[in-house]
Structure 1
Amino acid sequence: MTTDGLVQCSTCGVERDSADLPEWCPICVDERQYVDPGGQRWVSPPADAVIALAELESGLWGLEVSGGVGIGQLAKVVVTDAGTVMVDVPAAITADAVAAVRALGPMRAIIPSHPHMFGLQSLWSQALDDAAIYVSAADADWLGRRPAALQLWEGSIEPVPGVVASQPGGHFPGSSVVHWTGTDGAGVLLCSDTIMVNPDRRTVSFLRSYPNRLPLSAAVVERIAAHVDRYDFDRVYSNFGLRIAHDGKAAVAASARRHAAWVRGEFDHLTGPG
């Protein structure tokens, strides 16, 4: 594994070719993200990051990063008889973490849900026998480095039997979700922040920007909810450690109705005098 020619933004952690660095990280100056108050910094992947592999449920593992840079997403690894699939990508990589992921089985696909989750995808692919990296074609212009194993996609893909990725959009035009049937037979939706599990672990949110609190319209949220309605799922995981443990499909549908009603003004009477 070599990092020659690769740096990452210290704020978002996304990789970029060092030979073609802009003054500002395009991902961070976009209205969905932010530039660190200390200014733009491009850094080499830190050697002091620690990545722990934690079992979230049978057949599903999370990559918990401490130290390093970026926004701290919890990447997931789905384990199947046909191989493994990484959903979202850490903004760090270590030899120990690579060995731990390898031990779960051969990596068949790496699927970043949207540009904020690109992380160090080139290095992870390289370390995992050049595993294919599936980036939504609609979001390809956000790539600051084009991995050798890059594959652009639209619609839906099934990189291993039973693991299906599709693109409801919203947060980004190509924002994706991944559906998988857990070892107990219940459906699982890995939705990153295309759909964000709330701290109450009973509802979800739909936003254009989470750090900057920009909402999506009622029509877009209803479209996202209709898209994931194609799947049967009980559990919902987003990309910062929160999950809905039961009745996830009903929770997503009810949360979409609530969001749409609020942004249409149906609950304005609850906000005080006009």
Structure 2
Amino acid sequence: MPRFLCRQCGARFPDAPTPPPGCPICLDERQYVRWGGQDWLTPDELAADHHIVCAPDHGVLGLRIQPAFAIDQRALLVEAQEGNLLWDCIGLVTQAALDTIRARGKIIGIAISHPHYYTAMAEWAQALDVPVHLHADDRAWVTEPDPAIRHWDGEALKLGPSLTLLRCGGHFAGATVLHHAAGVGALYTGDVLQVTADRRHVSVLYSYPNMIPVNAATIRRIAAILEPYAFDKVYGAFEGRVIAGGAKAALERSFERYLAAIA
């Protein structure tokens, strides 16, 4: 029996003779159902005409499906002294991509910012033989359960001396960012904090496609969570969406601008 992927968002579901009646990720108000109606494909169908491009982006290896598929986010390989971490996830697994990741050194796990990027996490975890770290507040959004998934509680999870997951909330209850403390520090945000087109700011929305903002209390909470951490770069969910310097000040400006706009 095949596993089915939602063509609109990339969510993947367990083996079944037929696809689900609908994708819960797309039916939620943060996403949307494909304009032509719910549509599915199998991993083999995706692999038949898509591949993974592995390319550096401001010093970090990114993995992206091409031609673009679903939301078109990329995964990032965060290379740390304690071992490498695959940040966020994509819906296709290939041997070439696995070989590229393994060639960079030991991988200690996968961590994902929020449910829109869960997609083929179970297959990635099995292929790399590592756990997947997800915040427990988003447990209900897992569409393909797997023993490799580890749900963590609380506001922060240390994965090693330099790697810390931080629950920011906002986009989802368990929306998470990753802080890497090496060098000047970097923050990996998916689109929990969306790097804007000018690459000098971020924004925070409950829904990006439906343009639903978060409130002032949420912005202040996120700012307070990030304040103790040093970082000079922010890596967003999409290729090229990187604040390459002065990122700490850029986030402070962004939060001030957001609060002024909704006041």
Q: Shorter-chain TM-score: what band? A: over 0.9
Runs of 4+ deviating beyond 4 Å: none
Residue aligned with 1:177, SS: strand
**Is the CA contact 1:218–1:261 (under 8 Å) kept in the aligned structure 2?**
no
How many angstroms does 1:22 deviate by? 3.4
Give the counterpart letter for 2:186 in structure 1. V
Matched residue pairs, number? 257
Q: Which residue of the partner structure matches residue 227 of structure 2? A: 229
How many angstroms does 1:21 deviate by? 4.9
Alignment of 1:1-40 (within 5 A): 5-19=2-16, 21-40=19-38
Partner Cα separation in structure 1 for residue 92 and residue 70 of structure 2 = 9
Q: 2:41 aligns with which of 43, 46, 60?
A: 43
Q: Which residue of the partner structure matches residue 177 of structure 2? A: 177
Partner Cα separation in structure 1 for residue 6 and residue 169 of structure 2 = 24
Alignment of 1:1-274 (within 5 A): 5-19=2-16, 21-45=19-43, 46-47=46-47, 48-58=49-59, 60-67=60-67, 69-129=69-129, 131-154=130-153, 155-182=155-182, 185-241=183-239, 242-264=241-263
Partner Cα separation in structure 2 for residue 213 and residue 204 of structure 1 = 15
Could you tell me which runs of 5 or more consecutive residues in structure 1 were left unpaired when the two chains were aligned. Answer: 265-274
Give the counterpart letter for 1:66 in structure 2. Q
How many angstroms does 1:166 deviate by? 1.1
**TM-score between the two structures when normalised by the length of structure 1:** 0.89
Partner Cα separation in structure 2 for residue 141 and residue 65 of structure 1 = 26
Give the counterpart letter for 1:166 in structure 2. L
In our comparison, the structure showing a higher alpha carbon Rg is: 1
Residue aligned with 2:4, SS: strand
**Is the CA contact 1:203–1:252 (under 8 Å) kept in the aligned structure 2?**
yes
Residues 6 and 160 (structure 1), Cα distance of their counterparts in 2 relative to 1, 3 Å cut: farther
Question: Once the two structures are superposed, what CA deviation does each residue of 1:115-160 show, in whole Å capped at 9, x if it has no partner?
Answer: 001021011111102x100111000100111122110012222223
Partner Cα separation in structure 2 for residue 107 and residue 147 of structure 1 = 19
**Is the CA contact 1:134–1:151 (under 8 Å) kept in the aligned structure 2?**
yes
Q: Which residue of the partner structure matches residue 269 of structure 1? A: none
Residue aligned with 2:159, SS: strand
How many angstroms does 1:68 deviate by? 6.3
Give the counterpart letter for 1:16 in structure 2. F
**Is the CA contact 2:11–2:23 (under 8 Å) kept in the aligned structure 1?**
no
- Give the superposed CA RMSD: 1.5
Q: Which moved more, 1:235-244 or 1:64-73?
A: 64-73
Q: Which moved more, 1:200-209 or 1:16-25?
A: 16-25
Could you tell me which runs of 5 or more consecutive residues in structure 2 were left unpaired when the two chains were aligned. Answer: none
How many angstroms does 1:114 deviate by? 0.3
**Is the CA contact 1:133–1:151 (under 8 Å) kept in the aligned structure 2?**
yes
Give the counterpart letter for 2:53 in structure 1. A
Identity %: 37
Give the counterpart letter for 1:43 in structure 2. L
**Is the CA contact 1:33–1:212 (under 8 Å) kept in the aligned structure 2?**
yes
Partner Cα separation in structure 1 for residue 170 and residue 67 of structure 2 = 30
Partner Cα separation in structure 2 for residue 81 and residue 227 of structure 1 = 24
Partner Cα separation in structure 2 for residue 61 and residue 219 of structure 1 = 34
Residue aligned with 1:17, SS: coil
Partner Cα separation in structure 2 for residue 109 and residue 230 of structure 1 = 25
Question: Once the two structures are superposed, what CA deviation does each residue of 1:95-130 show, in whole Å capped at 9, x if it has no partner?
Answer: 11111111112221111100001021011111102x
